[in-house]
Amino acid sequence: MGEITINDRAIQRINEIRSEKGISSDSYLKVGVESGGCSGLTYNLDFESKEQPGEQDQVFEKDGLKVWVDMRSFLYLAGTELDYTDGLEGQGFHFHNPNASRTCSCGESFSI
């Protein structure tokens, strides 16, 4: 099963947000999938400092950033790359998910 990768631009932006909001460096970036959106599933990014990962959850660290993906979400996200762009096509985080068979125009919703 493929892993989730986070490129350097995304890590830089995540660290900037964490610093701006005063979020502790020992918190996790929780990456997940929820029902909703125009294509059926939406991506979710949030910081988590109180709850801890479960035994089946995927946890990894890259450049000091601790990332947590619950097992259900990982099944949808395996092989995905998280990117951050601030170019002409729009500013924000983008998921490049090889498992998605259809995505919406905003890139925040997908289906398998």
Rounded to the nearest 5 percent, the helix, strand and coil shares of the chain are 20, 40, 40
Looking at residues 69-75, what average pLDDT do you find?
A: 92
CATH code (residue 43)? 2.60.300.12
Q: What is the pLDDT of residue 68?
A: 94
- CA gap 95, 77 in Å, rounded: 9
Q: Where residue 108 falls among pLDDT bands split at 50, 70, 90?
A: low
CA 27-30-35 angle, 5° bins: 155
Query: Are residues 65 and 86 in contact, defined by beta-carbon separation less than 8 angstroms?
Result: no
Question: How many Cα neighbours within 13 Å face the side chain of 11?
Answer: 14
Q: How many domains does the chain have?
A: 1
Q: Where residue 112 falls among pLDDT bands split at 50, 70, 90?
A: low
Domain that holds residue 90: 5-111
Using a cut of 0.85, tell me whether the model's pTM lies above it: no
SS3 state of residue 111? strand
pLDDT at 72 over 70: yes
Q: What is the pLDDT of residue 110?
A: 47
